[in-house]
A = this chain, B = another copy of it.
Amino acid sequence: MIVEAAGEVFDEVGYTAASTTEILARSGVTRGALYFHFPSKEAIADAVVAYQTDILVPRPGKVRLQAVIDLTMEYAERLRHDPVLRGAVRLSVEQAAYRKPDSTPYEGLREVVLGLLREARGAGELLPGVDEEEIARLLVGAFTGIQLLSQAATNRADLLPRISVLWRYLLPALAVPGLLTHLDTSPRVRPGATVAEPQGG
């Protein structure tokens, strides 16, 4: 409840302007309970940042490159509707407002993507010469910027089409030719979610 309330507040006003009093009021917990779990506003922010990785649960089965594509589409859709995830992303992008910036907020995302890409490599889906580490880093970086520009331009209404464009132009350098024409990059969420449902309300 604390993380949910805090995510909303961070999403709306950013770290600096967020007050623990407001977070308390929205979460409905007592001040004692809040400080028991989180000794500082920074600790609350770290928990909200971790949320963006916690919700990523890749599923087994199907083509692994398709699983990566689907994961980005579901994450994009979730970003449009989940204020806690938006708060996590805002804190990640505006890290300097509350901590010395480092890669921590992006590491969990990168590792999930890297794991799927290694499975894709094992399944013979990737072209020779493709470096899974490079692609994982590239995808997390490109996604982060694309969602920022989509937020600025349309409040993320066009985020899925923008992610679809990324895939259309990247895949020819990644996928073996026989697979390429079978991958679905259309801007929509597929059944078989790889992103977990919101926890709580």
Chain A residues in the interface with B (C-beta under 8 A): 14, 16-17, 90, 93-97, 101-103, 105-106, 130, 134-135, 137-138, 140-153, 162, 165-166, 168-174
Contacts and interface: CB of A to CB of B under 8 A. Distances in A.
A132 to B, nearest CB: 12
Chain A interface mostly helix, strand, loop or mixed? Answer: helix
Contacts of A14: 16, 94, 96-97
Q: How many copies does the complex hold?
A: 2
A99 to B, nearest CB: 10
A110 to B, nearest CB: 9
Contact of A141 (B95, B103, B162, B172): B162
Contact of A16 (B16, B103, B145): B16
A79 to B, nearest CB: 14
A152 B101 CA distance: 5
A170 B142 CA distance: 12
Contact of A169 (B148, B153, B173): B173
Contacts of A166: 138, 142
B149 A162 contact: no
